[in-house]
Structure 1
Amino acid sequence: MTQTSVNDIEFRSVTKNYGAVTAVKNIELAVPKGAFLALLGPSGCGKTTCLRMIGGFEQPSEGEVMIAGTPMRGVPAYRRPVNMVFQHYALFPHFDVENNVAYGLRQLRPRLPAAEITKRVASALEMVRLGGFAKRRIHELSGGQQQRVALARALVNRPSVLLLDEPLAALDKNLRTAMQIELQTIQRELGITFVLVTHDQEEALSMSDLVCVMNAGRIVQLAPPQEVYDNPADLFVAGFVGKTNRLEGEIEARGTDRCMVRLGNGLTITAPVKRELSTGKAILSVRPEAIALSTATDATANVLKGRVTNRIFLGSSVEYCVAVPGIGDVLVTTERQPAETGLHDPGTEVALGFDPQTVHIFSA
């Protein structure tokens, strides 16, 4: 019997082995009802294995996967209250849109009345903004429209959990952005739990309300997107989620809430302590957008002097690579103002300033 649970998905000490290879190790995870969770990490980190264990395509070697409070060990994929949208959609090319979406409903037992199937297919197509496309063939659709058909086919069975295996990877940037907004809107309207697997940091941060960062088969950080970006749990998260500068130094003094680190060029940075630190070498993590770039030569605190070596024009922003003696290359991102015309050319001497509150100190 299904138990009452505040979580749609739970991993309880889950480990998955493939022979001598451990894909995920002792995972503990709770996904609240109605959440949009992104499993984020590099290739081989275990995120797809976790998704497949939720969907029933894999069974844990140890531990238990729960859906809506019910243990799923031994429950096949077709008997779980979940559905999945694959990266390559897996649509039937010989079916039209309507029959692709209706396929899963026609497999249900006891059989649904034909009128009920027609009604639910029409409703699912309206949901994904394809109301007039029922009789179209798959080859007549754009990539974005095919993605919506796959989404409608997954939603028409009214699952408790929808699994998304990098469903936007094949789309161009503009269409991918539009579909990200579409998926968010659908998820809010339906109120069901979405689990997205992606290695795209921007996609994870922009779409989800909960990000699970994985590395080497383990969960490194589980938090809302802003928390993951602003307060990374370790150097891996700081470097993988967004861009960061790693400034090496030596801890000179450490208090309960502040720490002094001397950088390679002799500059001492005093920054807040946000985690456990050992003595000795340290690495400062500073986001490129947290650094202010100017041609001023004032000697205020926390200012690095260097020379622009590269400039990357991105339209609304500009990225500069600045060589700082004793430290190395520092990446700086500046937002362009509407009236701004002048950009710093390679070879320009610049000063880099930053607020120590934006610095994260990690033990090396």
Structure 2
Amino acid sequence: MTVPSTNDIEFRSVAKRYGSVTAVSDINLAVPKGAFVALLGPSGGGKTTCLRMIGGFEQPSEGTVLINGREMNGVPPYRRPVNMVFQHYALFPHFNVEENVAYGLRQQRPKLGTAEIANRAREALEMVRLGGFEKRRVHEMSGGQQQRVALARAIVNKPSVLLLDEPLAALDKKLRTAMQIELQTLQRELGITFVLVTHDQEEALSMSDMVCVMNAGRIVQMDRPQAIYDHPADLFVADFVGKTNRIAGTLEADGTTIRLSNGMVLGREGKRTMAPGAVTVALRPEAIDLVRQLPTHAGGLVGTVTHRIFLGSTAEYQIDVDGLGDFLVTADRRSVQEGDLVEPGERVVLTFDPGKMHVFPA
């Protein structure tokens, strides 16, 4: 039954089991029309299983999958308003570019005219900046061009939803960055819903409107990319999305004082109620200020630089902090005495705004 919906995709209490193995459990998900959503998580987290249930390649063991308000349980892939771009593109090597793109159009019933098929294939290739490549053979094209052929083939049928199964994984870093921009531009131009599966957190944060972080077959957090990064729901999200330092401590009875294992006391802003006891403080590397240790300096964490990675405008330092162990610090070169790099072996002081801490039960 079709019902009015503002969402292109909905999961209602969806579970998927393979024998005794539960791949996803109790998934409730709503993807608004025209959104670019990334399903992000480690291998085995359940993200690809969810993508395959949207595409119809898997059926839920429990619950309901809806597209455009219509229940999709039991509906085969070719009956869904969805197309998919696979990680390895799955192009036909014996077809030229136009034949690859037009393949889906030739399967439609009632049959389309030859001229209409050619025109629509040409329009799809223009959208992905491959106009004039119609007669080129697939093996004559670069990886990035092949990826765009796969995209053209997926959008030529004008689907409501486009599914992307780690489509950039096989590309080198420079080409991957260029294709991220291409995909964002294409999604805005088409105005259709994109669902991207990736384990690359930078890819998810940079490309999508919404990020759905999954782990062990469940949704841990779904929010805007900036909110996911700045306000992680738990320690897993803080660890998995971006880099973070984990500091062991104890939340005292007043609920606002944290005592670290080296005896240092930190004040905690009361963002949420937590029971006193063992906690883990998560702190982003860029939230820490690094200065060379001076005799007059008071406060902060004192340590020794053990490693340095030069990244151009920034540098990453591994610092052995007295009594607490290794810390990772990302420092803008301009913030360290007029751009001088700190050398391994130097003693430094680390300071940070307690408001930048994220505190989770240990």
Common fold: TM-score over 0.5: yes
CA distance in 2, matches of 1:41, 1:146: 26
4+ runs of 1 displaced by more than 3 Å? 296-301, 337-341
Alpha-carbon distance in structure 1 between the residues aligned to 2:356 and 2:160: 40
Q: Distance in 1 between the 2:109 and 2:333 partners?
A: 59
Contact kept? 2:333, 2:341, Cα under 8 Å: no
Aligned to 1:325: 322
The 2-side partners of 1:337 and 1:127 are apart by 42
- Corresponding residue SS for 1:331: strand
Whole-Å separation in 2 of the counterparts to 1:79 and 1:166:
23
* 2:333–2:340 Cα contact (<8 Å) kept: no
Matched residue type, 1:113 = G
Question: 1:336 Cα shift?
Answer: 2.7
Offset at 1:272? 1.4
What is the deviation of 1:36? 0.3
| More displaced 10-residue stretch of structure 1: 244-253 or 81-90 | 244-253
**Of 334, 352, 355, the match for 2:353:** 355
Q: 1:247-269: CA deviations, max 9, x gaps?
A: 111112435xxx21011111111
- Aligned-partner Cα distance in 2 for 1:179–1:171: 9
Q: CA deviation at 1:340?
A: 5.1
SS of residue matched to 1:135:
coil
**Deviation larger for 73-82 or 273-282:** 273-282
Q: Which residue in the other structure is 1:346 paired with?
A: 344
CA shift at 1:4, angstroms? 1.5
Q: Any residues of structure 2 matched to 1:121-136 within 5 Å, and which?
A: 121-136=121-136
Q: Distance in 2 between matches of 1:358 and 1:248?
A: 16
Instruction: Give the TM-score of the pair, scaled to structure 1.
Output: 0.97
- Runs (5+) with no aligned partner, structure 1: none
CA contact (8 A) 2:5 2:68 kept: yes
Structure 1 segment 1-16 matched on structure 2, within 5 A: 1-16=1-16
Indicate yes or no: 2:280 matched with 1:283.
Answer: yes
CA separation in 2, counterparts of 1:85 and 1:254? 53
Give the match's secondary structure for 1:272: coil
For the residues of structure 2 that align with 1:45 and 1:55, how far apart are their CA atoms? 18
Distance 1:254 1:187, change over 3 A: farther
Report % sequence identity: 70
Residue identity matched to 2:206: S
Change (3 A) 1:167 1:310: same
Q: Distance in 1 between matches of 2:303 and 2:94?
A: 62
- Separation in structure 1 between the aligned mates of residue 151 and residue 19 of structure 2, nearest angstrom: 34
CA drift of 1:276 comes to 3.9
Match of 2:56 in 1: 56
Distance 1:6 1:139 in 2: 42
Question: Given that residues 274 and 361 in structure 1 are in contact (C-alpha distance below 8 angstroms), is that contact kept between their aligned partners in structure 2?
Answer: no
Instruction: Give the superposed CA RMSD.
Output: 1.3
- The answer on whether the counterparts of 2:39 and 2:212 sit within 8 Å (CA) in structure 1 is yes
Deviation at 1:290, TM superposition (A): 0.4
Separation in 2 of the partners of 1:353 and 1:360?
A: 15
Query: 1:83 aligns to what SS in structure 2?
Result: strand
Q: Which residue of 2 aligns with 1:105?
A: 105
Whole-Å Cα distance in 1 between the matches of residues 178 and 333 of structure 2?
A: 24
Total equivalences in the alignment: 360
C-alpha distance 306-221 of structure 1, shift in aligned 2 (>3 A): same
Q: Does 1:310 align with 2:312?
A: no
| In 1: Cα distance, 2:178 partner to 2:334 partner | 26
SS of the residue aligned with 1:181?
helix
Letter in 2 for 1:138: V
SS of the residue aligned with 1:233?
Answer: coil
Aligned to 1:93, what secondary structure does the other structure show?
coil
Counterpart CA distance in 2 for 1:131 and 1:148 is: 11
Structure 1 pair 182–359 and aligned structure 2 pair: CA distance change class (3 A): same
Identify the match of residue 257 of structure 2 among 247, 260, 267. 260
Q: Secondary structure at the match of 2:268?
A: strand
Deviations 1:216-235 (A, max 9, x none): 00000000000000000000
Paired AA for residue 44 in structure 1: G
Distance 1:184 1:152 in 2: 15
| CA displacement 1:125-164 (0-9 Å, x = unmatched) | 0000000111100011000000000000000000000000
* CA distance in 2: counterparts of 1:221 and 1:47, whole angstroms: 13
8 Å contact 2:15–2:25 — kept in the other structure?
A: yes
Matches within 5 A, 1:39-78: 39-78=39-78
Task: Name 1:269's counterpart in structure 2.
Answer: 266
1:139 is matched with: 139
Residue 191 of structure 2 corresponds to 191
Letter in 2 for 1:347: G
